[in-house]
Amino acid sequence: MNRNFFSRIVLIIAFTLTGIIPSVQQAKSAEDSNWWLTPHRLLQTNLREIDATMDIDKYVREVEEFGANIVLFNVGGIVANYPTELEYHWRNTFMKGDLVGETLKKLHKADIKMIGRFDFSKINEKYVANHPEWLYVSEKGEHVNYNGQVHTCVMGGYQQDYLLEILKEALTKYPLDGVFFNMIGFPQVDYSRNFHGICQCENCKESFKDFCGLDLPKHDGDTQALRKHQQWKSIQVDRQFGRVRDLIKSIRSDIVICTYTTEHIDLIRKESGAPLGRETWDDVERAQWTLLTTENKQLANTTVHFYQMIFRHSAAAPYLHSRRLWQQMVNGAWLDFYCIGPLQRLEDRAGIGPISNIYRFHAANEKWLLDTESAAEVGLVCRDGDDYWGWVQILSENHILFNLVSFEYSDLKRYRALIIPESGGVKAEDARALDAYVEGGGKLLLSGRIPNKLTCLGQPVLKKTWPLRHSMYVRIRPEDKAELDVDGLKDFDLVQLRGDFHQYEPASGTGRMLRLIHDVMYGPPEKCYYRSVSDIPALLLRKHGDGIAASFPFQIGAMYREWGNLGHPMLAVGTLDNLLQTGRRVKIESSPLLEATHRRDPKGRFEWIAFYNHSGRLENSFHPPIPIDNVRISLKTSRPIKQVTSLTNRTRLTPSDNSSDEMQISLPRLNVFEVILVEYGR
């Protein structure tokens, strides 16, 4: 989605509704006030109180050299890093002058923005005697004092009112560009993960009683009260953020509000902090899904420098950070890196080089990276589970450029093909949308059970579901190989099948491919063979309207994820390419360890194909990737190409034949990452 475009549309609608026609200048300034919709490069140096003594000039220089254009900087809450005049705001005792004021002035001079970080979840123990009603009360009836910081409650006066005083002071004293809130809501644990339960303070008790007439429950209390408590909590957080937003925006409308929720804020914060990374494509999903499902907001998904809370000074592998940042960047989100203390005091600096390489690349190529939209032509419906992640891997490894899509938020018609993992769970209304999609010429591929209400496959009758633990195979017959037309299948006459297999009686006019082998003996090798191949198809195909639908009646993605057998992806790719004839605009010949992304300028002046090299990963380590040579790319285009450039080293690549409608180029070497830019003439 082109987010700037979206914001413009919203503005135009808003102005039209109010009967005001904006002048170009008005529209422009309103657009500038949503500056955060443009991807920025955020560096969070989460300052300890002792960092007030850091060298500020060096700090600013390091931020610049790192390639960031915005910092997330500790301003207030637990510790005030400026000379606050408020009685209950703890002034940093290590600070000599005005840390926020001096740093902000220097950052702004260097054209770097600052988002102020505030944490109101705790207050210094020196203040609590005067205001016990501000505090969180555990289920044991105790306050929680963690290293001299005492937990406060959302419903207490500190978070309800004093917070606004602190924000007002900071935001009127300093021209901060944004505000970030840490530790929002109703936490029930402390930093050591000790569980303290639902807050039992008088404010909570009273407000909850007013809300539903019930007594405030404990975490193991009555189910109905706990359900009500969930509702009540979200109403309270919503109300509090609404008030905070009103205050901030009344001071200056261009102050960005950022935190971990989605309501009343502008910039959504998330964290990739699992020490070994989670899924290889976790950050692709976070970026694509967040930007798809939250209108007119942006995402700052931070890659967390350290392993865990208890090892805040030791870092996760450099090329894990590199991968995460790359995946956020090429999917249109912010770059965001978070470490403890300023860079000048970092004691594990191994990642700084690879990380800032990506920041500097983004800085040098803003023209091509800031305002783009996905050009992928295959949609993968976003779900959870093994089948979904298996499909992500199949598509990525085979360089089938895809977008995560949702029935609710995506324009399905824009995709040449749609893939539905775990398709049995598709709702009736979504099945109708899929029928219309196929009717209009779409190519649909299902994995798993066929949805009951789906008609484009002729509503085949489910005869039996073969159970999970039955030893089975899928026979790939010579005629299947001929039609699937994938070279590698010459070495496969079968692939294993574990998991539910849905045996259908297909409707007339349905193509039946592949065959189920279920008559399998296993045990001692002498007795390991099958005696027959059934006539039950393992792939159904049917034309419907102008399109075509196909179904693997088992979760083929889950098979690949669980076993990594190379036959399953070949069946999937052959189906997409040669049975459904999806037609790829971009073809890439290279290692499966190369991840590709395709985006374009909304105005059509350029498009690019980005590559990331995953080859450095071995077990728990992420090493520098091994260079991949001679990456061949072909791109179908009907327009005259002005030039093709490799953006990492600014070299021109010469298409082998620029006269036909299929341009061929070769990238001599892919090191860690690359963007191949294709510019068009007028």
Interface mask toward Zn ion for 97-136; x: CB under 5 A: ----------------------------------------
Comparing CB distances to Zn ion, the nearer of 64 and 202 is: 202
How far apart CA 84 and CA 87 sit, in angstroms, is 8
Shortest Å, Cβ 208 to Zn ion: 9
| Contact indicator for 519, 532 with CB cutoff of 8 Å | yes
| Binding-site size, Zn ion (CB under 5 A) | 5
Shortest Å, Cβ 90 to Zn ion: 21
Residue selected from 37, 167, 176, 201 as contacting Zn ion according to rule CB under 5 A: 201
How far apart CA 37 and CA 6 sit, in angstroms, is 10
Centroid of chain to Cα 16 = 34
Comparing CB distances to Zn ion, the nearer of 103 and 240 is: 240
Tokens of residue 520, six digits: 């399998």
Q: Interaction with Zn ion in 136-195: which residues (CB under 5 A)? A: 153, 155
Comparing CB distances to Zn ion, the nearer of 155 and 184 is: 155
Centroid of chain to Cα 456 = 32
Helix residue spans in 158-281 (DSSP H)? 163-173, 202-212, 223-251
Shortest Å, Cβ 199 to Zn ion: 3
Q: Interaction with Zn ion in 40-69: which residues (CB under 5 A)? A: none
Q: Which amino acid is at 611?
A: F
Comparing CB distances to Zn ion, the nearer of 236 and 374 is: 236
How far apart CA 40 and CA 257 sit, in angstroms, is 14
Residue selected from 176, 199, 340, 538 as contacting Zn ion according to rule CB under 5 A: 199
Comparing CB distances to Zn ion, the nearer of 153 and 644 is: 153
Shortest Å, Cβ 119 to Zn ion: 17
Shortest Å, Cβ 262 to Zn ion: 24
How far apart CA 576 and CA 486 sit, in angstroms, is 11
Provide the 10 A C-beta neighbour count for residue 82.
24
| Contact indicator for 274, 296 with CB cutoff of 8 Å | no
Comparing CB distances to Zn ion, the nearer of 196 and 399 is: 196
Please choose, from the candidates 276, 282, 315, the residue with its C-alpha nearest in 3D space to the C-alpha of residue 595: 282
Candidate segments 50-58, 80-88, 124-132, 196-204, binder of Zn ion by CB under 5 A: 196-204
Candidate segments 80-88, 199-207, 208-216, 662-670, binder of Zn ion by CB under 5 A: 199-207
Contacts of 480 (CB under 8 A, 6+ apart): 513, 514, 539
Comparing CB distances to Zn ion, the nearer of 166 and 199 is: 199
Shortest Å, Cβ 243 to Zn ion: 17
Shortest Å, Cβ 186 to Zn ion: 8
Comparing CB distances to Zn ion, the nearer of 158 and 608 is: 158
Shortest Å, Cβ 197 to Zn ion: 11
Query: Phi and psi at residue 116, in whole multiples of 5°?
Result: -85, 135
Shortest Å, Cβ 152 to Zn ion: 9
Q: Coil, strand or helix: which one is 36?
A: helix
Shortest Å, Cβ 230 to Zn ion: 15
Provide the 10 A C-beta neighbour count for residue 596.
21
Q: Interaction with Zn ion in 410-469: which residues (CB under 5 A)? A: none
Shortest Å, Cβ 120 to Zn ion: 13
Going through 322-480 in order, the beta strands assigned E by DSSP cover 335-340, 373-374, 378-381, 402-405, 417-420, 443-447, 461-466, 472-475
Comparing CB distances to Zn ion, the nearer of 18 and 230 is: 230
How far apart CA 590 and CA 672 sit, in angstroms, is 14
Shortest Å, Cβ 118 to Zn ion: 20
Please choose, from the candidates 530, 157, 117, 490, the residue with its C-alpha nearest in 3D space to the C-alpha of residue 338: 117
Shortest Å, Cβ 204 to Zn ion: 3
How far apart CA 600 and CA 296 sit, in angstroms, is 19
- 3-state DSSP percent of the chain in helix, strand and coil, to 5: 35, 25, 40
Tokens of residue 149, six digits: 């910081």
Shortest Å, Cβ 164 to Zn ion: 18
Q: Which helix (H) or strand (E) element contains residue 629?
A: strand 628-636
Q: Which helix (H) or strand (E) element contains residue 681?
A: none
Comparing CB distances to Zn ion, the nearer of 199 and 540 is: 199
> Can you give the length of the chain in residues?
682
How far apart CA 445 and CA 552 sit, in angstroms, is 8
Q: Interaction with Zn ion in 321-380: which residues (CB under 5 A)? A: none
Shortest Å, Cβ 155 to Zn ion: 5
Comparing CB distances to Zn ion, the nearer of 201 and 653 is: 201
Max CA separation in the chain (angstroms): 86
Query: Phi and psi at residue 504, in whole multiples of 5°?
Result: -110, 150
Shortest Å, Cβ 309 to Zn ion: 24
Residue selected from 52, 80, 204, 244 as contacting Zn ion according to rule CB under 5 A: 204
| Contact indicator for 49, 94 with CB cutoff of 8 Å | yes
Tokens of residue 468, six digits: 């999970």
Q: Which amino acid is at 242?
A: G
Comparing CB distances to Zn ion, the nearer of 73 and 162 is: 162
| Contact indicator for 270, 184 with CB cutoff of 8 Å | no
Please choose, from the candidates 296, 285, 299, the residue with its C-alpha nearest in 3D space to the C-alpha of residue 332: 299
Comparing CB distances to Zn ion, the nearer of 14 and 189 is: 189
Shortest Å, Cβ 79 to Zn ion: 23
Tokens of residue 465, six digits: 């579901």
Q: What count of Cα atoms within 13 Å lies in the side-chain half-sphere of residue 333?
A: 30
How far apart CA 39 and CA 329 sit, in angstroms, is 8
Tokens of residue 516, six digits: 């189920």
| Residue ranges binding Zn ion (CB under 5 A) | 153, 155, 199, 201, 204
